[in-house]
Amino acid sequence: MGTHATTPGPDGTSGHPGSRLLGDDTCDRLSTQLRQAVAGFVDRPRNAVEEADLVLHEITERLNDALTERRRTLARNWKAPASGDPGKGDAAPATDTEQLRLALRDYRELAERLLGV
């Protein structure tokens, strides 16, 4: 069977295909920073826009890092050598096909999530 990463990544997420791309702490912190930037616009418009730019920059960097790590995890799962020995009649081809099916499902799920952003 296919396996999914269950150890937290550098961003605090589980690495499971259905999990959030960024951890709750990261999302909360960046949301707070953005709200503060918006709230400060009346008194310091330029500083507010600069802060919003920095927040968006950090979000895109962290998302890129999280997506790169997710792709590595997905690739490790389906590129791992199959267990069993086909020469001895073991069930490696079926297991291999199941791992590939799960990998394709995970790739499709992640791609569809990204396309829905």
What CA–CA distance (Å, rounded) separates 15 from 72? 10
**pLDDT at residue 90, rounded to an integer:** 53
Is residue 90 domain-resident?
A: yes
Is residue 64 domain-resident?
A: yes
Under the banding of pLDDT at 50, 70 and 90, the label for residue 71 is very high
The larger pLDDT score, comparing residue 3 to residue 31, is at 31
What CA–CA distance (Å, rounded) separates 88 from 73? 30
What CA–CA distance (Å, rounded) separates 80 from 9? 20
39: containing domain: 24-115
Q: How many domains does the chain have?
A: 1
**pLDDT at residue 37, rounded to an integer:** 97
Average pLDDT over residues 77-83: 73
Is residue 5 domain-resident?
A: no
| pLDDT tens per residue across span 90-109 | 556 666 898 899 999 999 99
The larger pLDDT score, comparing residue 22 to residue 92, is at 22
